[in-house]
């Protein structure tokens, strides 16, 4: 996490931006190199495969920086993924040159960014291992617990935690089909662990889901 001074200096750069839900912030292949620092809301990061699928790579929220690889990489590389606002997003847009100058003048921040990128790569490697080693129910359980911790919305009328993502999006995140995710949710529901809702999935027993996720 950036220190207070480094974060203040970063947020003083660029210009404020607002993106409505569904707005494309970056598109895969774009030649732009600006960076976006999310201060409110959530975005999803995905790529498009040769057969037209759109596997979800990550979710990012307040405090996260997106697009930094394009700012650091050699010119002409293009964006490696598409980023879309999942909810209304408030952010700071910083030009690539400004961002590079910031990293050069703030070595502590540069180290934090490097650690963040390393953690993301490790997380991607872990998920690849999980895809090959666990069934859909186990992968989905692990994902729902992770999403509840990072993006969950507590239900004020109960102990449930809502995860605002569709079955299609959940399937993309674990490399499965929507039909397989639907069947897995039925099994988890029959054990009293989850409940399907209009805006996504609610975890009725978070502790039980943690045990199920292993």
Q: What is the DSSP string of 2-63?
A: --HHHHHHHHTSSEEEEE-TT-EEE-TT-----EEEEEES-EEEE---TTS---EEEEE-TT
| pLDDT of res. 85 | 93
Band the pLDDT of 128: cuts 50, 70, 90. low
* pLDDT band of 177, cuts 50, 70, 90: confident
What is the model's pLDDT at position 129?
Answer: 63
DSSP label of 180? H
Structural domain spans, the chain: 4-131, 135-213
- Collapsing DSSP states into helix, strand and coil, what is residue 65? strand
Residue 163 is encoded by which pair of tokens?
A: 């995860």
Supply the pLDDT for residue 197: 87
Cβ atoms of 59 and 46 within 8 Å: the answer is: no
Is CATH 3.40.1120.10 the right assignment for the domain spanning 135-213? no
Reported as a pLDDT band with limits 50, 70 and 90, residue 35 is: very high
Quickly name the fold that domain 4-131 has: Jelly Rolls (2.60.120)
CB of 10 closer than 8 Å to CB of 35: no
Residue 109's pLDDT is 93
């Amino acid at each position: 996490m950036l220190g207070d001074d480094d974060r203040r200096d970063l947020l003083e750069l660029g210009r404020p931006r607002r993106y409505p839900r569904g707005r494309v912030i970056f598109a895969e292949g774009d030649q732009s190199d600006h960076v976006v620092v999310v201060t409110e809301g959530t975005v999803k990061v995905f790529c498009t495969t040769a057969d037209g699928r759109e596997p979800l790579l990550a979710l990012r929220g307040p405090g996260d920086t997106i697009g930094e690889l394009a700012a650091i990489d050699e010119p002409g590389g293009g964006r490696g993924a598409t980023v879309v606002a999942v909810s209304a997003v408030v952010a700071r847009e910083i030009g690539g040159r400004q961002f590079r100058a910031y990293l050069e003048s703030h070595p502590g921040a540069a180290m934090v960014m490097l650690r963040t990128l390393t953690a993301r790569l490790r997380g991607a490697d872990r998920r690849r291992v999980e895809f090959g080693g666990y069934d859909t129910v186990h992968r989905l359980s692990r994902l729902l617990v992770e999403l509840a911790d990072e993006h969950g919305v507590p239900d004020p009328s109960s102990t449930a935690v809502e995860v605002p993502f569709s079955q299609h999006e959940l399937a993309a995140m674990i490399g499965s089909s929507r039909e397989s995710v639907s069947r897995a949710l039925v099994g988890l529901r029959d054990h009293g662990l989850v409940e399907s809702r209009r805006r996504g999935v609610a975890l009725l027993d978070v502790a039980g889901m943690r045990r199920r996720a292993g």
